[in-house]
């Protein structure tokens, strides 16, 4: 049954059109290979983010502090193997400044680059106070 505005033959089912799903592009074998999507390319001269800097500092601190426990274990093994308290004390003494060194290195800023401007402008050549005589009230 056809009503006003209907297209003749609209009730008949038409076959679905063929749909092609695009596949991922194949990697080129040429000189410029596309980078994997999970590794973005750095195209700015911006400094690493503060989160990245913090993560690197925590990694350095953990790496340095990881040497402390093996030093104590090595001191115990040296004492039991060689029966020398002097060797054990030297190993323990070497592990004592490790926390201090770890904190200093972990709190250090990233190294300066050559492109970073120097803020020193040579103001030491200027005299801070005038050298002439001033009138004083007595």
Q: Which domain holds residue 100?
A: 50-107
- 127 domain-assigned: no
- Domain count across the chain: 1
- Which segments in the chain show pLDDT lower than 50? none
Res 1: pLDDT? 54
- 58 domain-assigned: yes
Handedness of CA 74, 77, 81, 85 (dihedral sign): positive
Residue 70 makes CB contacts below 8 A (sequence gap 6+) with none
- 82 domain-assigned: yes
- 87 domain-assigned: yes
Handedness of CA 64, 68, 69, 71 (dihedral sign): positive
- 12 domain-assigned: no
């Amino acid at each position: 049954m056809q009503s006003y505005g209907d297209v003749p033959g609209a009730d008949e089912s038409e076959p679905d059109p063929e749909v092609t799903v695009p596949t991922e592009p194949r990697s080129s074998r040429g000189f410029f290979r596309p980078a994997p999507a999970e590794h973005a390319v750095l195209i700015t001269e911006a400094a690493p983010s503060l989160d990245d800097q913090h993560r690197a500092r925590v990694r350095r601190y953990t790496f340095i502090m990881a040497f402390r426990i093996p030093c104590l274990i090595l001191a115990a093994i040296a004492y039991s193997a060689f029966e020398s308290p002097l060797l054990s004390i030297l190993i323990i003494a070497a592990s004592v400044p490790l926390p201090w060194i770890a904190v200093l290195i972990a709190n250090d800023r990233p190294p300066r680059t050559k492109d970073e401007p120097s803020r020193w402008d040579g103001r030491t050549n200027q005299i801070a106070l005038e050298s002439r005589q001033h009138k004083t009230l007595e």
